[in-house]
Homo-oligomer: A and B are copies of this chain.
Amino acid sequence: MEHTKILLDENEMPTHWYNILADFPEPLAPPLNPATREPIKPSELEPIFAKELIKQEMSPERYIDIPQEILEIYKLWRPSPLHRAHRLEKVLGTPAKIYYKDESVSPAGSHKPNTAIAQAYYNMKEGTEKITTETGAGQWGSALSLSCNYFDIECKVFMVRSSFYQKPYRKSLINLWGASVIPSPSPETQFGRMILEKYPDTNGSLGIAISEAIEVAALNDNTKYALGSVLNHTCLHQTIVGLETQKQFEKTEDYPDIVIGCCGGGSNLAGVSLPYIRDNIAGKTDTRIIAVEPSACPSLTEGRFDYDFGDMAQMTPLLKMYTLGSEFIPPAIHAGGLRYHGASPIVSKLVADGMMEARSYHQVEIFDAAVTFARSEGIAPAPESAHAIKCAIDEALKCKETGEEKTILFNLSGHGHFDMASYDMYFSGKLTNE
């Protein structure tokens, strides 16, 4: 039997990230200062972001070296395994070959530490003493907590209220690594107090939590803000995922015809797919790339492609992206990490230019796919990742109809160990089909 897992040695781990900004046929539309509508200057971002991250956000360099200290921490779990889903293929009866990259093996259980470690590192280098952030399902908050712990930086997490109560043990994990976490909207910020007064029963949203975290960073010295997705530098740091898969495919006789990732802010999707898009742009390959989002929060499939704010308080620069409007509050679906009104400008541009497809699924069919996966491949997936699984299953079933032996790769962005209450609702038939 062929290998089940394709592994890389630590010595084979990529030592640089790939920056797609160098390969776009035309420059990405720049972020704008909302007051002037002029492209924002790096210095205007310095109150909230580390300088090196601002530099990476706008860098024209195709490859950016990964500092040794970051590589050493990555090695706690990286390179992550690439799995051939033999058992899932058999259950589906498909001639397709299904592979998945297992990013659930990080201590925080998702791909998020790939950028969290980098962001904490550069902040440490520049003397940051405290980092604030938001978190949806808690994947990002726990990843940043882990990362700040390694560089002795204080970390404060604003967690979307619906997830704070749906996923109590993600809070515990954030505490375990030493960060503090409170539900958002919170009474600790001016914006939070305003929302609480206006909508006391709100579920919260990533947009609100971002506003609160930025407010704290903007008002305090040596305090910076970190974003877990959307921005160019988060996509950059995640490219280690796709770069590793390319090295792993070199060890097989396969190469993906289709690459799939779920899309909230867009970073895990960008991470797995950008190196393949690089090769598409270079004319070497013609790989289909598919972004998968929840029907309840369909920015790529139903949003408008326009400049919009990244947060609800309209404090961020304007980003050119697919958006449902910065005031949009999505239903409290269980894939909390995908409850964002916008999408990464890089991903948005790729979709707008036809270099990436997008589709959406409803919540119940996502959980159907998650259970099929857990009972074949073993791993209990995060509801977010189950969007990618559902799409991979659909593509594999199409191959069953046509008889095509396509190779399908999806990114298993995280495990569902902290999402079991959602599975309970699914099995009890109480899950709403948003």
Contacts and interface: CB of A to CB of B under 8 A. Distances in A.
A169 B9 contact: no
Interface stretch (A185-193, A208-216, A374-382, A386-394): A374-382
Contacts of A418: 417, 420
Contacts of A151: none
Nearest to A2: B10
Contacts of A284: none
Contact of A378 (B3, B77, B417): B77
Interface stretch (A175-183, A218-226, A398-406): A175-183
Given A3-B10, A7-B9, A424-B172, A107 B77 contact: no
A113 B176 CA distance: 27
A107 B109 CA distance: 12
A327 B190 CA distance: 59
Given A375-B149, A417-B109, A417-B417, A380 B176 contact: yes
A289 to B, nearest CB: 27
A418 B420 CA distance: 10
Given A4-B76, A105-B105, A378 B420 contact: no
Interface in A1-46: 1, 3-5, 7, 9-10
Nearest to A371: B176
Contacts of A3: 10, 75
A5 B12 CA distance: 13
A94 B175 CA distance: 27
Nearest to A178: B375
Contacts of A424: 172, 175
Given A375-B178, A378-B107, A72 B4 contact: yes
A421 B170 CA distance: 11
Interface string A403-430: 0000000000001011011011001000
A146 interface: yes
B172 A420 contact: yes
- Copies of this protein in the assembly total 2
Contacts of A75: 3-5
Contacts of A83: 76
A375 B375 CA distance: 33
Interface residues of A, number: 43
B176 A423 contact: yes
A366 interface: no
Contacts of A375: 149, 176-178
A168 B146 CA distance: 25
Nearest to A169: B420
B374 A421 contact: no
B4 A175 contact: no
A173 B420 contact: yes
Given A1-B72, A107-B379, A417-B418, A176 B7 contact: no
Contact of A421 (B5, B172, B423, B427): B172
Interface of A: 1, 3-5, 7, 9-10, 72, 75-77, 83, 87, 105-109, 146, 149, 168-169, 172-173, 175-178, 371, 374-375, 377-380, 415, 417-418, 420-421, 423-424, 427
Given A172-B427, A417-B417, 15 more contacts: A3-B75, A7-B9, A106-B378, A107-B380, A168-B420, A169-B169, A169-B421, A172-B420, A172-B424, A173-B420, A175-B423, A175-B427, A178-B375, A415-B417, A418-B420
21 contacts: A3-B10, A3-B75, A4-B72, A4-B76, A5-B76, A7-B7, A76-B378, A77-B378, A105-B105, A107-B374, A107-B379, A109-B417, A149-B375, A169-B421, A172-B427, A173-B380, A175-B424, A176-B423, A177-B375, A178-B375, A417-B418
Closest 9 A-B residue pairs measured CB to CB? A107-B378, A169-B420, A172-B420, A417-B417, A4-B75, A76-B378, A172-B424, A172-B423, A107-B379
